[in-house]
Structure 1
Amino acid sequence: MGDRPRQQPPVRKPPSLDSLEVTGTPPHAQFLASEHWSLLATRSMTWNEIFSRTGTYLTVLSAAVIALSLVANATGGFGQDFRTFALLVLPVVLLVGVGTYFRLIEADIEDAWLVIGMNRLRHAYIELAPELDPYFVASHHDDESGMLQTYSFRSRVGLTHWLSGSPVIVGIIDAVVTGVLTAVVCQAVGAGAVLRTIAGVLAALAAAVLLGTMGYRKVRQVRRDYRPRFPS
């Protein structure tokens, strides 16, 4: 018997994309869930940065106050040496505070965008499974009321909610530091107690109004340019 050549198995060509038959439901929910977790992780990082920056600024402020008190005790009062040290330290504290304030404003805006993104994903969940609507606590609308519903589970928030925010607290501290720095400058140039007190109060009020106006304008610009896709 002669050796017969072995027959090679037939080579099958891979099917083209047009000939593939899609069976079952596409995994849209998995894609949406992955994006949801990504936004949630980014929001967690944003909140960590808010707390970290606020804590860092308060630490710098506390260290400056302690240093000023030590210098006052060492020099025997609020004389020339104390004023010189205060004029070196307080501008640095104010610079850190102003930078922290504007970064907190930006972080709050970024957090609002992340909430809007997650609300849109919930809207997609509702479109895939409408029967799940009663079980969602957070909103699935991406307008202002829907964003506030996800933030605080209310469509409206009061004045106390805004006053307790980190940017407002940091802005108030910045205004106080500005007033103290102004009073120290007035004392350095020989102004009386009444004059430097009035100047410090006016400077603090002006700084509070300026910071509040700039923060409000930035937030208002974002609100003006935004157009919701799934309003309530």
Structure 2
Amino acid sequence: MAEEESRDAGPSAALMSAIVTEQFVLQSAASTTVSEALGRSSLYLSALSSSLIALGFASQTPGLLLPFAAAALPTVFVLGLFTTVRLVGTGVQNVLYLSSIARIRAYYRELDPEAACYFARWNAGEGETDDALGSLAVKSGPMAGLFTAASMVAVINGVLGGVCLALLTYYLVTDHHLPAALAVGLSTATVCLTMFYRCQHHRYLNIQR
């Protein structure tokens, strides 16, 4: 009888306090992933813009442009790879944290018959991940990670990689043959973006299962 009365009385104060604390911790962790993504994206874009400005000054000195570009552009490209990988990780972390918050919201929704209108789902999907993506105005599926910060940096970095190989082809391989250099650059950018999309899609697909 005591156990039935305890169930009818609802969750204990200690449990509710723990759930509220956990939700606060998850919200703070989700905010941290967004801040980290912003910081890493800003660092990469600052390095890229600084390198491009320096290239403009280097182009005014004969014989300096090619060595400087050979040193600066690959370095920024590698930085972009590291940044992209980490941005995918922070994006996945954010969705995981939001999925846990969605689980807590689902518990709140069941506390009272009238609670459903105050803790409505963000997405029509059945899973917590669908609800989490819905809070970001994103639908689960192959396009879920396409418009992330990682995708933005990957596009810029893919173009940078294409430019690097195009310059290498133009000056050192084909003896200033522009069509061949453009073909190499476009192919490189396409391969980089395809590999990134497949990797990111695989990471997001794992958390949507």
- Shorter-chain TM range is 0.7 to 0.9
Aligned residues: 196
Matches within 5 A, 1:184-223: 184-191=167-174, 192-223=177-208
Q: Once the two structures are superposed, what CA deviation does each residue of 1:67-120 show, in whole Å capped at 9, x if it has no partner?
A: 1111002x14xxx42111101001110011011111111111111110111011
Distance 1:218 1:166 in 2: 15
Work out whether residues 182 and 200 of structure 1, in 8 Å CA contact, stay in contact via their aligned partners in 2: yes
Q: 1:66 aligns with which of 31, 50, 53?
A: 53
Correspondence 1:83 to 2:83: no
Over alpha carbons, which structure has the higher Rg? Answer: 1
> Helix, strand or coil: the match of 2:136?
helix
Q: TM-score, normalised by structure 1?
A: 0.76
Aligned-pair CA distance for 1:168: 1.1
Distance 1:155 1:101 in 2: 22
Aligned-pair CA distance for 1:190: 4.6
Work out whether residues 87 and 184 of structure 1, in 8 Å CA contact, stay in contact via their aligned partners in 2: no
In structure 2, the partner of 1:99 is 82
Matches within 5 A, 1:129-148: 129-139=112-122, 142-148=127-133
Q: TM-score, normalised by structure 2?
A: 0.83
Aligned-pair CA distance for 1:216: 1.7
Correspondence 1:171 to 2:158: no
Distance 2:139 2:52 in 1: 41
In structure 2, the partner of 1:230 is none
Matches within 5 A, 1:41-60: 41-60=28-47
Q: Once the two structures are superposed, what CA deviation does each residue of 1:182-212 show, in whole Å capped at 9, x if it has no partner?
A: 0121133152122112111111111111221
Change over 3 Å in CA distance of 1:218–1:164 after alignment to 2: closer
Change over 3 Å in CA distance of 1:217–1:163 after alignment to 2: closer
Aligned-pair CA distance for 1:164: 3.2
Distance 2:190 2:201 in 1: 16
Work out whether residues 29 and 125 of structure 1, in 8 Å CA contact, stay in contact via their aligned partners in 2: no
Aligned-pair CA distance for 1:221: 3.2
| 1:176 counterpart letter in structure 2 | V
Work out whether residues 44 and 83 of structure 2, in 8 Å CA contact, stay in contact via their aligned partners in 1: yes
Change over 3 Å in CA distance of 1:221–1:162 after alignment to 2: closer
Distance 2:103 2:206 in 1: 22
C-alpha RMSD over aligned residues:
2.5
Q: 2:20 aligns with which of 33, 49, 65?
A: 33
Aligned-pair CA distance for 1:165: 1.9
> Helix, strand or coil: the match of 1:128?
coil
Q: 2:96 aligns with which of 101, 106, 113?
A: 113
Distance 1:185 1:72 in 2: 16
Work out whether residues 98 and 132 of structure 2, in 8 Å CA contact, stay in contact via their aligned partners in 1: yes
Change over 3 Å in CA distance of 1:139–1:163 after alignment to 2: closer
Distance 1:211 1:147 in 2: 23
Work out whether residues 95 and 132 of structure 2, in 8 Å CA contact, stay in contact via their aligned partners in 1: yes
Work out whether residues 145 and 156 of structure 1, in 8 Å CA contact, stay in contact via their aligned partners in 2: yes
**Structure 2 stretches lacking a partner, 5+ long:** 1-5
| 1:201 counterpart letter in structure 2 | L
Aligned-pair CA distance for 1:139: 4.5
